[in-house]
Structure 1
Amino acid sequence: MEAAHHNFADDAVIDVMEAEYFPPYSIRLRFSDGAEQSVDFREFLEKSRHPEIRKYLDQELFRRFSVVYGRLDWNDYDLCFSIQDLYEGRI
């Protein structure tokens, strides 16, 4: 299967290449253009009222993400975010 590439305003193809967990709810991302971004998911998780999102407040569950086809993914897209939002560090 081909990787899903993400085009931003300058037509650059951007993918997540690596993701590293930092407790309790942060992930440091490295993108295909060499950019890096730390994203803290705590506020998003805590403010959500949806139980399928709030379950990721369990740190063991949260840290089980993976990079799949250039995207950050939890449990087969049970939880995922736009590449552009991650790149800009906002969710």
Structure 2
Amino acid sequence: MSELSVVNAKHITGHILDIEFNDGHISTVDFATFIFSVGHPDYEAYKKIDGFLNFDIVDGNINWDDYTMIFPVEDLYNNKIIKHI
């Protein structure tokens, strides 16, 4: 199997995205808990929906503001985004 990658992301509501991967799998991921618990000033912009929706798919991953916020593709696939301490 080729390397897992994101091919599409669709906004559902709030901070929730449906993320489609190159193997056809779709994960519904809610980023709110992560964004609102991080406490770092770089993430403040993503608390507002307009800021959160300002992402691109770059090199098979979802990327916010030139890598200010990015997650391992496998974590998105398994819907296991967590706050790393």
What TM-score results when the alignment is normalised by the length of structure 1? Answer: 0.83
Structure with bigger gyration radius: 1
Runs of 5+ consecutive residues of structure 2 not aligned to the other structure = none
Instruction: Find runs of 4+ consecutive structure 1 residues off by over 6 angstroms.
Output: none
Runs of 5+ consecutive residues of structure 1 not aligned to the other structure = 1-10
> Is 1:37 matched up with 2:27?
yes
Q: In 1, distance between residues paired with 2:25 and 2:2?
A: 12
> Is 1:72 matched up with 2:55?
no
Query: 1:9-88, aligned counterparts within 5 Å?
Result: 12-88=2-78
Percentage of matched positions with identical amino acids: 30
What TM-score results when the alignment is normalised by the length of structure 2? Answer: 0.88
Q: In 1, distance between residues paired with 2:59 and 2:74?
A: 15
**Pairwise CA RMSD of aligned residues?**
1.2
AA aligned to 1:20 is K
